[in-house]
């Protein structure tokens, strides 16, 4: 059984790791805390960007000689390979730490094996402390390693009766200013923000992050199957963040001449773009986490394709009684086929209720 102090150190490492969300892909987020023999924190660090030093190296640098005889708490098994940087297991051995506690084993075959290297050098090694929390914090990268596609969060804002617009199409502003600010934080943590053509046409959204200090801008992706929604001068085409527009492979090149980064993808049987092909392209581009922002048709296609991992709903205390539902047809016709989720958090945001739920892994 881990002591409360050990759990605190790992919790701190998980918190530190989260500071890398949105800027480390295609690499994981990783945090590291080093304590001396008497349990005092002597060094901390987190992975900040792909190609940069790993979390352990930042923490070892901060600890200096105080790491000798101490314990390193790491959210992911220390790496064993020389990739863009050297092996962390070796760096921990050289620094003279006595013990390494890590939360999640490294599923990346290329880098795994750090625990064995540490043990062979006489270091005490433990795995699994707060593994569930650490894995949840690294869901983007772990999902990508496991499935070869990005982790997808579908986010929507709806009235309490589940509608995203009034019957006449008007929709501003259902959610509170606080919820809208919170969405910018979600965007900053994601590698890509994805919307469909309906949203692009109706809202001319900008999709960049505003008001989040130090934020890395996500890739903006518009699914514009027929190449009709992203017009010259669309706000999403400005230079605030990179943008890609995904169109069907059969649309005429002239229709996309004003767009620098066009992805030509196959259609699904229903005529829309093939979700799996889109996810594969995102993965190839290094995207490990996607924030799917709308609208109902695209979200329905993602749910139908089994490509939603987490749902975040901002529910406003507003009733409409008519108007489109947050989710359109997802291929579910009978109650036994309903997609049942696990609620992981409920919190008040301004006047709204934010519900976070995950899709059980099949």
What's the closest the beta carbon of residue 289 comes to Zn ion, in angstroms?
21
Helix H segments across 96-234? 114-120, 131-137, 139-147, 177-189, 197-203
Residue 83 or 205: which CB sits closer to ligand AOF? 83
- Decide: is 55 part of the binding site for ligand AOF (CB under 6 A): yes
Among residues 10, 59, 63, 76, the one that binds ligand AOF under rule CB under 6 A = 76
- Per DSSP, 284 falls in state H
Helix (H) / strand (E) element for 47: namely none
Q: Is 298 labeled as ligand-binding?
A: yes
- The entry of Zn ion, ligand AOF, none near residue 27 (CB within 5 to 8 angstroms by kind) is ligand AOF
Give yes or no for a contact between 223 and 195, defined as CB atoms under 8 angstroms apart.
yes
Range in contact with ligand AOF (rule: CB under 6 A) among 51-59, 94-102, 124-132, 333-341: 51-59
Distance CA 26, CA 28 (A): 7
Distance from C-alpha of 246 to C-alpha of 220, rounded to nearest angstrom: 11
Q: Which is nearer to ligand AOF, 50 or 339 (CB)?
A: 50
Residues carrying an active site annotation: 56
DSSP states of 192-208: EEEEEHHHHHHH-----
Does the annotation list 58 as a binding residue? no
Contact segment (CB under 6 A) with ligand AOF among 61-69, 103-111, 116-124, 309-317 equals: 103-111
User: Is residue 79 at the binding interface for Zn ion, with CB under 5 A as the rule?
Assistant: yes
Distance in Å, CB of 29 to ligand AOF, minimum: 8
Report the candidate in 262, 337, 264 with the shortest Cα–Cα distance to residue 304: 337
Among 54, 149, 187, 310, binds ligand AOF (CB under 6 A): 54
Counting residues that bind Zn ion (by CB under 5 A) gives 3
Q: Answer yes or no whether residue 88 interacts with Zn ion by CB under 5 A.
A: yes
Residue 79 or 291 having the CB closest to ligand AOF: 79
Residue with the closest Cβ to ligand AOF? Answer: 83
Neighbours of 53 (CB within 10 A): 19
Question: What residues from 306 to 335 belong to the interface with ligand AOF (CB under 6 A)?
Answer: none
Alpha-carbon distance of 263 to 306, in angstroms, equals: 22
Per-residue CA distances from 259 to 195, 222, 232, 316 (Å): 16, 11, 8, 36
What is the number of other CB atoms lying within 10 angstroms of the CB of residue 16?
A: 22
Q: Which residues bind to ligand AOF, rule: CB under 6 A? A: 27-28, 30, 47, 54-56, 76, 79, 83-85, 88, 106, 108, 111
Q: Which residues bind to Zn ion, rule: CB under 5 A? A: 54, 79, 88
Binding site for Zn(2+), residues?
54, 79, 88
């Amino acid at each position: 059984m881990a002591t409360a102090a050990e759990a605190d150190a790992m919790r701190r490492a998980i918190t530190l790791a989260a500071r890398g969300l949105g800027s480390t892909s295609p690499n994981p987020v990783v945090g590291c805390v080093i304590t001396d023999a008497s349990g005092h924190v002597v060094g901390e660090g987190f992975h900040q960007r792909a190609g940069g030093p790993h979390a352990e190296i930042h923490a070892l640098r901060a600890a200096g000689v105080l790491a000798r005889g101490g314990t390193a708490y790491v959210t992911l098994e220390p790496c064993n390979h020389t990739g863009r940087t050297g092996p962390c297991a070796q760096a921990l051995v050289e620094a003279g730490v006595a013990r390494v506690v890590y939360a999640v084993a490294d599923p990346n075959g290329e880098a795994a094996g750090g625990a064995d290297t540490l043990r062979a050098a006489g270091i005490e090694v433990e795995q699994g402390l707060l593994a569930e929390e650490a894995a949840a914090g690294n869901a983007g990268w772990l999902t990508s390693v496991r499935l070869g596609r990005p982790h997808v969060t579908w986010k929507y804002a709806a009235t309490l009766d589940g509608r995203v617009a009034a019957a006449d199409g008007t929709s501003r502003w259902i959610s509170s200013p606080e919820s809208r600010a919170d969405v910018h934080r979600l965007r900053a943590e994601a590698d890509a923000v994805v919307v469909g053509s309906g949203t692009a046409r109706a809202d001319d959204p900008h999709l960049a992050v505003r008001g989040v200090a130090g934020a890395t801008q996500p890739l903006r992706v518009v699914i514009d199957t027929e190449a009709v929604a992203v017009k010259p001068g669309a706000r999403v085409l400005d230079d605030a963040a990179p943008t890609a527009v995904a169109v069907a492979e059969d649309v005429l090149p002239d229709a996309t001449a004003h767009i620098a980064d066009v992805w030509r993808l196959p259609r699904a049987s229903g005529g829309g773009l093939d979700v799996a092909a889109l996810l594969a392209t995102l993965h190839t581009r290094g995207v490990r986490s996607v924030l799917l922002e709308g609208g109902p048709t695209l979200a329905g296609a993602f749910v139908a394709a089994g490509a939603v991992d987490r749902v975040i709903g901002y529910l406003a205390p507003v009733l409409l009684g008519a108007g489109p539902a947050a989710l359109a047809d997802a291929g579910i016709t009978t109650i036994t086929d309903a997609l049942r989720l696990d609620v992981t958090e409920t919190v008040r945001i301004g006047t709204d209720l934010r519900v976070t739920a995950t899709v059980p892994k099949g």
